[in-house]
Amino acid sequence: MTLIKINELSKLYYSIGELSKLLNVNPSLLRFWEREFKLIVVKKNNKGNRLYSVKEIQEINNIYQLVKIQGFTIEGAKKAMKIKTKEVITISKDAVSTEEVIAQLEQIKQKLLRLKSI
């Protein structure tokens, strides 16, 4: 069982067949995960075939990791993904201190004042 190495992807979009070969799973499993995890495949070709972007492949990689490698059930994987999303949001809010934001806003204010005086 192997995860897709995102940094080694060379194309912008991958078909469901290409993606299933990379993950060594059936295309029907990818369609099932798409329904179960409410993944939105933004791009489709003229025939209506799914084309997966790197962002969507990353999501599928996360699902693959939880379900196939760590052995989560579908429901357990859904819960784990929701928890991960909340953690990322919390971390990103804490990543920048209030002082840093104020300093950046002061810099922007100074630039705007200089532009206004020109």
CATH number of the domain enclosing 72 = 1.10.1660.10
Q: Which distant-in-sequence residues (6+ apart) come within 8 Å of 81 by Cβ? A: 37, 62, 63, 66
Q: Is 61 part of any domain?
A: yes
Task: Please determine, for residue 100, whether its predicted confidence score (pLDDT) is greater than 80.
Answer: no
What's the pLDDT score for residue 80? Answer: 85
- The model's pTM is 0.65
The domain tally of the chain equals: 1
**Domain limits for position 25:** 6-117
Q: Where are the beta strands (DSSP E) in 8-105?
A: 14-15, 43-44, 50-52
Q: Is 50 part of any domain?
A: yes
Residue 27 main-chain phi, psi, to 5 deg: -60, -30
- pLDDT one-digit tens code per residue, 4-22: 877 778 888 999 999 999 8
Q: Is 92 part of any domain?
A: yes
Q: Is 77 part of any domain?
A: yes
Q: Is 1 part of any domain?
A: no
